[in-house]
């Protein structure tokens, strides 16, 4: 039984969180503690007690027939959200010159980053930098200065403006940047953003054979990640709690950012099961650096094969990929197109194992 003073203190803290969120994210922002408590309560309900899981799957999610076991055998919604699928439900594209989707979801944005300090567009008018998303990555390669970047449909992405002041905070963790990796004349830097609905299959797989060298855990908020939130909350993906895996594959740099979301919010990392995310905190310091773990053996890390399970979300969320891939080796022909080609469109539904993009092995 809580004392009256403790209850008043807790209530005051929640009101302060609400005021801060409304200032940063608009009047529709929900209190962090309410999201966490509500999410935890719902997560422990047995699926048989409510029809939410079927509604989620009907709303663009997966067919319940693909689940590895019958619905009534799941002890809770939490267990249902991280369900496995029947063998063969997600065949992996075997083309060695292919990057596969690591998740089931909807393609929000994708393209090539063509200038130093490049920004990724969240929605029209809101953009975030790759360096803010990944933190002080020593592996992120320097890319050549260009006037503009475009996605594969020719959409203009807002370039970096050195003089423009932003009214929102550069969040969480932008620790001092270390010397970046050198750029390659034969590879470009690409990105892809994929949104997972609550009813989607929630396990994250490896999109290619690669070595995970380091893990970053950014403490953060748990703003919702649906479309309305993306339109109203600046730096949404940078503000939210996230895990970033970085390493190397045959073409260079590879990073996978798993962004936590409202309600349950936690992320299970199968290659590091002891990692605990979504920890309740009274104060969130936006200058706090991310927690870093370098995987051993150093310079080798954790080896993953294409299609391997890497992590799981406990509810809907977003995955952002940043990676190097082959581009034209012709320096004389400015019109030469990249050898790596996305084979997706914005708004496409995609499943684990399906091709995100391909290139030609020269």
- Measured CA to CA in angstroms, residue 219 lies from 80, 210, 229 at distances of 25, 26, 19
85 located within any domain: no
Q: Is residue 302 part of a domain?
A: yes
In total, how many domains does the chain have?
1
- 287 located within any domain: yes
Is 317 tagged catalytic?
yes
What is the model's pLDDT at position 173?
A: 35
Q: Give whole-number Cα distances, 137 to 130, 179, 188, 260, in Å.
A: 10, 9, 17, 20
Chain centre distance of CA 334: 33
Structural domain includes residue 27: no
Is 21 a member of any domain?
no
Contact 141, 215 (CB under 8 A): no
Is 121 contained in some domain? Answer: yes
| Residue 28: inside a domain | no
Q: Which one of the listed residues 104, 151, 200, 308 is annotated catalytic?
A: 104
Select which of 137, 205, 206, 308 is catalytic: 205
* pLDDT confidence of residue 61: 53
Instruction: Measure the CA–CA gap between 313 and 261, rounded to whole angstroms.
Output: 9
Run means of pLDDT, 10 residues per run, the chain, 362 residues: 47 44 42 50 54 50 74 76 83 95 95 79 77 78 45 40 32 37 73 89 94 91 72 78 94 92 76 81 60 91 96 84 84 57 96 94 65
Say what the pLDDT of residue 27 is: 39
Tell me the two tokens of residue 204.
């994250």
Relative to beta strand 302-304, strand 210-218 is antiparallel
pLDDT for residue 190: 94
CB-side neighbour CA atoms (13 Å) of 53: 28
pLDDT score at 115: 67
Domain that holds residue 315: 91-358
Burial group, residue 262, by CB count within 10 angstroms (0-12, 13-18, 19+): buried
Annotated catalytic residue within 101, 131, 137, 317: 317
Reported as a single tens digit per residue, the pLDDT across 296-341 is 998 899 999 999 999 998 766 899 999 999 987 555 544 444 589 9
pLDDT of residue 175: 35
Residue 236 placed within a domain: yes
* Separation of alpha carbons 48 and 286, rounded Å: 40
- Among this protein's residues, is 205 annotated catalytic? yes
């Amino acid at each position: 039984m809580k004392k009256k003073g403790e209850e008043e203190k807790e209530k005051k803290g929640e009101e302060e969180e609400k005021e801060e969120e409304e200032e940063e994210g608009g009047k529709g922002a929900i209190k962090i503690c309410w999201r966490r408590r509500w999410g935890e309560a719902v997560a422990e309900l047995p699926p048989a007690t409510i029809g939410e899981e079927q509604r989620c799957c009907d709303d663009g999610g997966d067919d319940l027939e693909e689940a590895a076991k019958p619905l009534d055998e799941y002890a809770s919604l939490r267990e249902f959200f991280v369900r496995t699928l029947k063998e063969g439900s997600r065949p992996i594209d075997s083309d060695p010159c292919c990057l596969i989707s690591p998740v089931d979801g909807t393609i929000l944005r994708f393209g090539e980053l063509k200038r130093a300090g490049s920004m990724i567009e969240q929605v029209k008018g809101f953009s975030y930098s790759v360096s803010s998303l990944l933190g002080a990555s020593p592996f992120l390669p320097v890319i050549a200065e260009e006037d503009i970047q475009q996605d594969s449909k020719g959409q203009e992405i807002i370039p970096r403006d050195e003089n423009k002041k932003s009214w929102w905070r550069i969040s969480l963790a932008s620790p001092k940047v270390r010397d970046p990796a050198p750029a390659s004349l034969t590879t470009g830097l690409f990105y892809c953003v994929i949104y997972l609905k609550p009813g989607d299959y929630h396990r994250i797989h490896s999109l290619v054979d690669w070595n995970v060298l380091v893990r970053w855990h950014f403490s953060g908020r748990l703003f919702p990640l649906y479309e309305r939130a993306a339109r109203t909350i600046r730096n949404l993906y940078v503000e939210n709690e996230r895990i970033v895996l970085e390493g190397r594959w045959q073409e260079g740099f590879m990073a996978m950012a798993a962004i936590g979301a409202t309600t349950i919010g936690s992320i299970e990392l199968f290659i590091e099961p002891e990692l605990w995310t979504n920890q309740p905190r009274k104060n969130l310091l936006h200058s706090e650096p991310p927690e870093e773990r370098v995987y051993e053996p150093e310079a080798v890390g954790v080896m993953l094969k294409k299609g391997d399970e890497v992590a799981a979300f406990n509810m809907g969320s977003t995955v952002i990929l940043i990676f190097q891939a082959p581009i034209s080796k012709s320096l004389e022909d400015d019109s030469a197109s990249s050898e790596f080609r996305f084979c997706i469109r914005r708004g496409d539904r995609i499943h684990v194992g399906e091709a995100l993009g391909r290139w030609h092995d020269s």
